[in-house]
Amino acid sequence: MRNWKLFALVCITVMLVSIIAVGCGNDYKKAIVGKWELTESNMDKSMLPEVIEFFADGNAKSESNDMMGMGYYTESFTWKIEGKNVLNTVSSGVTQKYTITELTSTRLTYEGTFFGLGDVWFKFTKK
């Protein structure tokens, strides 16, 4: 059960990062950089990181105070933008692709298929 939870966490992290990093060219690449707080999702928020931070160098990290009952958790990953898609790759080598549907200076929304769990969407507010 713990392995499944860890796998789900890694998958979610990859998905979130991918979604957040999605954009059009340099504008999306610049706009996504920063710290984002999850505000809404069609998934159980207890399975998702509370904060994702994208760095300009293509690295990122997610943090949660109590993801899936495992206590404090942080995950590092890489991201890149291809058109309106963000690709997130976690340390295990798994890559998730998400489509950005909204990216402003304060809001980020993306969607995609999350590690076999079906169609998902996430909304973030910039911290």
Spatial contact of 11 and 62, defined as CB atoms under 8 Å apart: no
Tokens of 26: 């340099």
Spatial contact of 32 and 54, defined as CB atoms under 8 Å apart: yes
What is the rounded distance in angstroms from the CA atom of residue 46 to the CA atom of residue 25? 32
Confidence of residue 21 (pLDDT cuts 50, 70, 90): very low
Q: What is the pTM of this model?
A: 0.74
**What CATH number belongs to 2-126?**
2.40.128.280
Question: Which tens digit of pLDDT belongs to each residue from 29-57?
Answer: 999 999 999 999 998 777 777 899 999 99
Q: Is pLDDT of 64 > 70?
A: yes
Spell out the domain ranges in the chain.
2-126
- Which amino acid type is present at position 122? F
Question: Which tens digit of pLDDT belongs to each residue from 71-115?
Answer: 788 889 999 999 998 888 887 788 888 999 999 999 999 998 776
